């Protein structure tokens, strides 16, 4: 049975064709715009994240609290002026207990003036009252089960295949959930970009075969860095694991940090 | 006419509406998901390359050794051997790219930054109370920073 072409059908067909003709290029333009914003080409060539497993280790017993690492990190990563740090140094001053108190140690004083970037002044307690004192460099703990990655609502922070926990600044909506989630206080909201920022292990350096800035300038080798997939027995990172008894920060949280510490005391969290 | 079209019209409309919603979601997802999303996981794979695209500010001691091999060899023979050139001399990528740009000028604070006495510093590390040790501010009057165990 052949149906006649009614006016209604004809008009409907024309309208659909017009809509298609207008929408198809618009959709193509939208796709091109998305591609332009989200694909970049100036990354180091030939770097395959699957071929590496980066690791950082801290020998706190070797840290002299000079703050060169903090300063280098600020310069290298254009970290904003003021109380914003991707890495910082804490000073722990454990006091002697009151005589006859039956305690093993007195209160601990922890400070980090300006992240330790300009060194540390005299301790807040007189020298005679100090039982022992030490410095602890802090940075992103590179958790295997990162709370920050779990809470990100848009997939802007992630655990890269090479062990770096990174932030996609183009995708970050600046909600700040990750900053609250990090149990180590390693993230901050940048007052410049209004996105979350953190240690990237100097991703732009390590992908080019350089050391992270803090490791590069550390004068006492308190910071050790290496690629576990390519580290030979004499590599500093392997030597660190062989020579030291290590621990992670806040192990009870189950975050499984990949940054290992040697030579820290129970007060360090 | 097949059986599908004999559904009650109100059900048919609901089915078409549902299909329309799912369809427009699929179309929007296709056009709005960035190309590399899901390459490694629930994130943009291209973000790795973008984070890595920053230029370096510190050149690294290998770059220093290309021109200043003598100084690098000298430092390596003494107790300052673990020190990076840029720890004291400041970030050097700009100078490495263009030697006409001078490096930071060094002064007294670079020495005391590490060697001023502080109870939190490990005992093996050489420390002095700078103002008792020497009233002036030129450590280099006595010490050679590249060869610290030599006192001329």
> What domains are there in chain A, each with its CATH number?
49-79+198-262 (3.30.70.20)
A109 touching B (Cβ < 8 Å): no
Per-residue model confidence (pLDDT) at position A198: 97
- On whether residue B149 sits in a domain, the answer given is no
When the pLDDT of each residue in chain B is averaged and rounded to a whole number, the result is 88
Write the CB contacts of B40 (distance below 8 Å, at least 6 apart in sequence).
A49, A158, A160, A161, B48
- On whether residue B78 sits in a domain, the answer given is yes
Edge to edge, what strands does the sheet with A54-59 contain?
A223-227, A54-59, A260-262
> For residue A120, what is the nearest residue in chain B, using CA coordinates?
B118
Q: How many angstroms separate the first and last alpha carbons of chain A?
A: 83
pTM of the model: 0.85
User: What angle do the packed helices A7-38 and B9-32 form, to 10 degrees?
Assistant: 30
Number of domains in chain B: 2
Of B36, B42, B60, the CB nearest to A210: B60
Backbone angles phi, psi at A188, to 5 degrees: -145, 160
A213 touching B (Cβ < 8 Å): yes
B133 and B74 within one domain = yes
B137 and B66 within one domain = yes
B73 and B40 within one domain = no
Q: In this model, does residue A75 exceed pLDDT 90? A: yes
Edge to edge, what strands does the sheet with A130-138 contain?
A108-111, A88-95, A130-138
- On whether residue B8 sits in a domain, the answer given is yes
- On whether residue B146 sits in a domain, the answer given is no
B123 and B93 within one domain = yes
Domain limits for position B45: 4-52
- On whether residue B120 sits in a domain, the answer given is yes
B120 and B76 within one domain = yes
Contact indicator for A138, A111 with CB cutoff of 8 Å: no
B127 and B65 within one domain = yes
Q: In this model, does residue A43 exceed pLDDT 70? A: no
B69 and B132 within one domain = yes
The dihedral over CA atoms of B45, B51, B55, B56, expressed in degrees to the nearest 10, equals -120
Per-residue model confidence (pLDDT) at position A35: 66
| Residue A192: alpha-carbon gap to chain centroid | 18
Of A30, A39, A203, the CB nearest to B31: A30
B92 and B31 within one domain = no
Question: How close is the nearest chain B Cα to the Cα of A220, in Å?
Answer: 6
Q: What is the 3-state secondary structure (H, E, C) of A193-243?
A: CCCEECCCCCHHHHCCCCCCHHHHHCCCCCEEEEECCCCCCCCHHHHHHHH
Q: What is the mean pLDDT of residues A73-91?
A: 96
Question: How close is the nearest chain A Cα to the Cα of B10, in Å?
Answer: 22
B99 and B48 within one domain = no
Q: What is the mean pLDDT of residues B46-53?
A: 92
Separation of alpha carbons B115 and A65, rounded Å: 10
B18 and B86 within one domain = no
Backbone angles phi, psi at B68, to 5 degrees: -110, 45
Q: What is the mean pLDDT of residues A191-197?
A: 96
- On whether residue B96 sits in a domain, the answer given is yes
B99 and B119 within one domain = yes
Share of chain A above pLDDT 70, in %: 95
Contact indicator for B101, B95 with CB cutoff of 8 Å: yes
B34 and B72 within one domain = no
Residues of A in contact with B42 (CB under 8 A): 155, 158
């Amino acid at each position: 049975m052949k149906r006649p072409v009614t006016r209604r059908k004809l008009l409907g067909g024309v309208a659909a064709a017009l809509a298609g003709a207008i929408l198809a290029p618009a959709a193509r333009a939208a796709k091109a715009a998305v591609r332009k914003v989200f694909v970049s080409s100036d990354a180091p060539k030939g770097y395959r994240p699957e071929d590496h497993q980066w690791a950082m280790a801290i020998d706190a017993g070797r840290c002299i609290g000079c703050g060169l690492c903090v300063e280098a990190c600020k310069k290298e990563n254009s970290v904003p002026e003021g109380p914003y740090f991707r890495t910082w140094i804490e000073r722990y001053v454990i006091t002697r207990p009151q005589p006859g108190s039956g305690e093993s140690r007195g209160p601990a004083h922890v400070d980090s003036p300006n992240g330790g970037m300009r060194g540390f002044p005299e301790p807040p307690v007189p020298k005679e009252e100090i039982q022992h004192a030490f410095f602890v460099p802090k940075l992103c703990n590179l958790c295997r089960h990162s709370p920050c990655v779990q809470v990100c609502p848009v997939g802007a922070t992630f655990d890269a295949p090479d062990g770096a926990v990174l932030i996609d600044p183009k995708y970050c909506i600046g909600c700040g959930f990750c900053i609250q989630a990090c149990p180590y206080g390693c993230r901050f909201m940048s007052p410049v970009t209004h996105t979350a920022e953190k240690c990237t292990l100097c991703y732009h350096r390590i992908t080019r075969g350089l050391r992270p800035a803090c490791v590069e300038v550390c004068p006492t080798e308190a910071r050790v860095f290496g690629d576990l997939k390519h580290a030979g027995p004499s590599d500093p990172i392997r030597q660190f694991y062989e020579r030291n008894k290590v621990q992670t920060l806040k192990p009870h949280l189950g975050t499984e940090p990949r940054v290992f510490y040697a030579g820290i005391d129970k007060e360090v969290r | 006419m097949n059986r599908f079209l004999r559904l009650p019209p109100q059900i048919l409309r609901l089915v078409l509406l549902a299909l329309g919603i799912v369809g427009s979601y699929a179309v929007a997802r296709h056009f709005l998901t960035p190309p590399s999303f899901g390459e490694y996981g629930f994130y943009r794979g291209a973000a790795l390359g973008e984070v890595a695209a920053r230029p370096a500010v510190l050149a690294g001691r290998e770059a220093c050794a290309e021109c200043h091999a003598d100084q690098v060899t000298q430092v390596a023979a003494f107790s300052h051997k673990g020190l990076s050139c840029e720890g004291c001399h400041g970030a050097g990528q700009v100078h490495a790219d263009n030697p006409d740009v001078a490096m930071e000028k060094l002064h007294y604070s670079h020495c005391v930054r590490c060697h001023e006495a502080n109870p939190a510093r490990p005992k093996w590390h050489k420390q002095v109370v700078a103002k008792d040790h020497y009233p002036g501010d030129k450590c280099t009057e006595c010490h050679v920073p590249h060869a610290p165990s030599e006192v001329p």
